[in-house]
Amino acid sequence: MSSERYPDGVTGWVGWIAFAAYFMIISGFFGAIQGLAALFRDESYFVVTKDGLLTFDYTTWGWIHLIMGVVLMLIGGYLLKGSTWARVVAIIVVGLHMIAQFTFVSAYPVWGVIAIAIDVLVLYALLVHGREAGV
């Protein structure tokens, strides 16, 4: 195969950026559904710890996940277009999404762990191979 298959500075690893963008869109869609489910559930979730009682309101977390889901879908779309600013913002938003999943994992443990794993793969793609998308 010829080395002219890709433009200068771009390798086959640029597919990781498409992977990240599509998974951001998919993760955002499911995050929005998760947020809507929490909004419709509209009750409090209580966790008892040795230091006291922590109260997590599903409505608040529902709005957080719904907004983050919509933002992830929008940024994923711009990332598919090769936007450099979208890559920078995506790293920040995916990191925040991962933190939000950690705090919500006690309510939905299986989904939280799956979402965190997807966020790790997306961050890997953006951080390691993201520079190639802007070339």
Are 97 and 72 spatial neighbours (Cβ–Cβ below 8 Å)?
A: yes
Give SS3 for 92: helix
52-61 confidence digits (pLDDT tens)? 555 567 777 7
Read off the pTM. 0.75
Q: Give the pLDDT mean for 81-87.
A: 85
Neighbour tally for 7: CB within 10 Å: 9
Structure tokens at 116: 């965190």
29-69 confidence digits (pLDDT tens)? 988 998 888 788 766 555 556 665 555 677 777 888 899 99
Are 135 and 9 spatial neighbours (Cβ–Cβ below 8 Å)?
A: yes
Of 88 and 49, the structure prediction assigns the larger pLDDT to: 88
Distance CA 23, CA 8 (A): 26
Helix (H) or strand (E) holding 83: none
